[in-house]
Structure 1
Amino acid sequence: MTDRRGRISFQGVPGAYSHQACAEAFPDFEDLPCNTFEGAIAAVKEGRADLAMLPVENSTYGRVADIHQLLPESGLYIVGEHFLRVHINLLALPGTQLADVRTAMSHTVLLGQCRGFLQEHKLSRRVAADTAGAAQAVAEKRDPAVAALASELAAKIYGLEVLARHIEDHANNTTRFLVMSPKPAEAPRGDVLTTFVFRVRNIPAALYKAMGGFATNGVNMTKLESYMVNGHFTATQFYADIEGHPEDPPVQRALEELAFFTDHLQIIGVYPAHPFRHEQRNGH
């Protein structure tokens, strides 16, 4: 047996931005890379990891595909959130000069977030399955004309040099992650978030009426998204984040009113709000 404090799973290979989020939020935990989001969830359900770090949305590209559908069926609970400032760097073999590079390799999302830099330096684009995998490929292929767009953590892991730092087009590029656990958190009352999913009943203006309870009770809803259930156009589920604890009287009243207009309501997390939210409110 080891004396580790815990193990946290994530989707991707070592050096991925999800790995960086794990290192920032849980520096004493052992990291467990997984091939898929389902694999990261399964690692927790099977006891191979204590927590999972899953990206849910990005400030530039919106929500992460499939996550909203996976969370309600995962059997896990949200116990925290983490906001990662996504800095993109150009990584190359040691001794390489920027003028030697002809091609930048990375996930298609990162290639799209560095258009200005790539055009300025006339670099062609090569799509890779993920960011850290691109860094690993650059290290293995030993071609100085090919560089990777990835994190500085990936540079350290694969022995690459950073030729250019923070080359992303948008200075506020941030990804929000959810920390998942097999047991719900005992979140203190106060500055907390409650996340839930629901389906409205088949009656006129059901969604409008369901949302009314949050407005009349002064409960701030920070996120509301819809998605199809099992690919059916007639079955829509909603994912929502609100500020407050379910035991707070205003939240309690709002959820009671919501339940009247829904045929399914599932709370999947009550957890502390990340300090990043305060920074955003204060304009930092």
Structure 2
Amino acid sequence: MSTSPSTSPHRIAYQGEPGANSHIVCRLHFPDWEAIACASFEDVFAAVESGEADLAMIPIDNSIAGRVADIHHFLPDSGLHIIAEKFLRIQFTLMGVPGSSLDTIRTVHSHVHALGQCRGAIRELGLKPVVAGDTAGAAREVAESGDPTQAAIAPPLSAEIYGLEILREEVEDEDTNTTRFVVLSRELVEAPADNGPVVTSFIFNVRNLPAALYKALGGFATNGVNMTKLESYMVGGLFTATQFLAEVDGHPDDVGLKRALEELAFFTTDVKILGVYPADPFRSS
């Protein structure tokens, strides 16, 4: 299955302001598509569901910060399907208004996760962190302020978009900082079997009974299926029911995974496949 854009105009929605990492990954993988900025994840899902956008680019995991909050609330009931995954090496840049310098800045503005991932540079420069709703939004606000004492930590594209000067590049603490994104579609497009590595994402519920999860997962072990993700969430704010988001290597038509999913159904409720899509080459790099 190809996620390359066709010759007809298409739109892909992302959360954040122009210049955000989600915008960057849209430009990298869908360069000829129109990227639509949305204020919230809920707006991104709504844009695809309504047909305003053809696809969505959503961050789901970060190698430093872990899972992205809120996504698990929208994904199971959205009616959208995962058709691809993309990985982006995160690079943060310290930027300020024209004429500012490392000597003039006193505060640094960014998303809480970005601030947490750049603690070393912030501490070294003696800056006061200020939490903003979005990395690119922080860059825009600093640009609008015209204040040489304010700086922003944001992706390099933000400096270009908002006319800021780069004061220091690659201020992130870890050079392995990577975010995994998933591409969502209204249409179910499954990767073919026997055509390279495939990831299958699904959700399921277990009842609050002894050994329920152990029994539910036993089939994956006995059938030699590699499970790469297992995350739990409360259902409806209750402590008596738990929903799990899981990802495994393989295609549902593979004999081992097919048997594992059949066994899973015996011990769970509401098993739902969210997507069957090609594994990004980054996984094996």
TM-score range, shorter chain: over 0.9
Structure 1 partner of 2:15: 11
Q: Does 1:263 align with 2:269?
A: yes
Q: How many residues of Structure 1 are paired with residues of Structure 2 in the alignment?
A: 277
Structure 2 partner of 1:192: 198
- How big is each residue's C-alpha offset from its partner over 1:203-260, in whole Å with a ceiling of 9 and x where there is no partner? 4311101111111111100000000011111111000000011011111001000011
Partners of 2:251 and 2:20 in 1: CA distance: 33
**CA shift for structure 1 position 4:** 4.7
Structure 1 partner of 2:52: 48
Letter in 1 for 2:255: P
Partners of 2:231 and 2:179 in 1: CA distance: 17
* Equivalent residue for 2:128, pick from 105, 124, 133: 124
Letter in 2 for 1:241: E
Structure 2: segments with no counterpart, 5+ residues: 1-6
Matches within 5 A, 1:1-284: 4-189=8-193, 190-279=196-285
Structure 2 partner of 1:282: none
| 2:11–2:35 CA contact under 8 A, matched in 1 | yes
**CA shift for structure 1 position 167:** 0.7
Identity %: 58
Q: Which segment drifts farther, 251-260 or 117-126? A: 117-126
Structure 1: segments with no counterpart, 5+ residues: 280-284
Say which SS state the counterpart of residue 98 (structure 1) adopts: coil
Q: Which segment drifts farther, 33-42 or 193-202? A: 193-202
**CA shift for structure 1 position 5:** 3.3
Divergent runs of 4+, >4 A: none
Partners of 1:106 and 1:70 in 2: CA distance: 25
**CA shift for structure 1 position 162:** 1.1
Question: RMSD across aligned C-alpha pairs, in angstroms?
Answer: 1.2
- CA change 1:101–1:4 in 2 (3 A) is farther
Partners of 1:156 and 1:91 in 2: CA distance: 10
Partners of 1:273 and 1:134 in 2: CA distance: 33
Letter in 2 for 1:180: L
Q: Which segment drifts farther, 16-25 or 69-78? A: 16-25
Structure 1 partner of 2:3: none
Q: Which segment drifts farther, 96-105 or 207-216? A: 96-105
Partners of 1:137 and 1:92 in 2: CA distance: 11
| 2:208–2:241 CA contact under 8 A, matched in 1 | no
Partners of 1:134 and 1:69 in 2: CA distance: 26
Say which SS state the counterpart of residue 271 (structure 1) adopts: strand
Partners of 1:200 and 1:111 in 2: CA distance: 37
TM value normalised by structure 1: 0.95
Partners of 2:190 and 2:141 in 1: CA distance: 43
